[in-house]
Amino acid sequence: MTGFAQERFDFPDFSINVSFKSVNHRFLDLNFRGTGITPASEKLIKEIIKDKLFRGKIEIVFDLFEMDHKNWDIQFNEYLLEEILDRVVPFTKKYKGNLNLSIDPFLKIPMIFHLDYIFENFSKENIKNIKNSIKKVFNTFSQSRIVEGESILKNLLISIKKIENNLNIIKAEAENLENEIYLNYKEKIKKLLNGIEIDEKRIVHEAAIAAEKSCIAEEINRLSIHNKRLKKLLQSKEMDQKGKEADFLLQEMQRETHTIASKINSIDIHKYVILIRREIEKIKQQVQNVE
């Protein structure tokens, strides 16, 4: 699910800027960036969000700036700059008069100049402040995802209800169709026999077999069970990682609709099967965003 939260915090010794942004993704993909990102700070952030995120491409920005310049550890990668200039200078000589390159753009490359922080050197009080700040932004971020989730759930339940209604129509149509197939096949056999004497039971038996081949009661029943399970799953507040199980249920539901369509030669029933498939596809697109 998508979500966003950002806030700046100013403390006596330093200031930090924290932001969380997520876009839809089938899996969990965490991306860290910012001047305050170190192995230690990244570990701290991961501990805060542990077991709270399961899906989404998450961008986490953690910028830190210390007030006391004595604690600044400015790193200058002169070897990288030399390597870049060694490759650029020949071009400037070759196209002298046509190229006007300044060294300024190269100095803006993050790997040329950057500030290093030893996160472990922060006092316990400062670490606590940083942790609480990150938690505050993350809670706001989580709340924004919850609001979107409630909106998605509302749309999903509407689609589930439509599937249920269309299934009820198909069930009624199928019962009538099965009886119609039985009677038509029975009459067809009698016409083909053209007066030849044959046991009535045999005719009934053959007609029943033909009708049985077009029976979709089991498919309708399984489709209905999956639909009810999907509804219960999405409404449950106890289960984690709902999206993955919902994906599986939708695959099974799609498979049942294919079976129904292949067994039934009825325009009316096919129409409702298409309507059900349309709702399943709508749910599949939304459910990829659900955790």
Full-model pTM: 0.62
For residue 37, the model assigns a pLDDT of 84
pLDDT tens, per residue, the chain with 291 residues: 788 999 999 998 889 999 999 988 878 899 998 888 888 889 999 999 988 888 789 999 999 888 766 666 667 777 877 887 887 777 777 766 666 667 777 766 767 766 666 666 788 898 999 999 999 999 999 999 888 888 888 889 999 999 999 999 888 887 766 666 655 665 666 566 666 665 555 555 555 555 556 677 788 889 999 999 999 888 887 655 577 788 889 999 999 999 888 877 778 888 999 999 999 998 988 876 665
| pLDDT for res 177 | 64
Which residue, 60, 216, 195, is CA-closest to 138? 60
List CB contacts of 74: < 8 A, sequence separation 6 or more.
Answer: 113, 114, 115
Alpha-helix runs per DSSP H in the chain: 39-49, 78-94, 104-107, 124-193, 200-213, 217-235, 242-263, 267-287
Say what the pLDDT of residue 248 is: 87
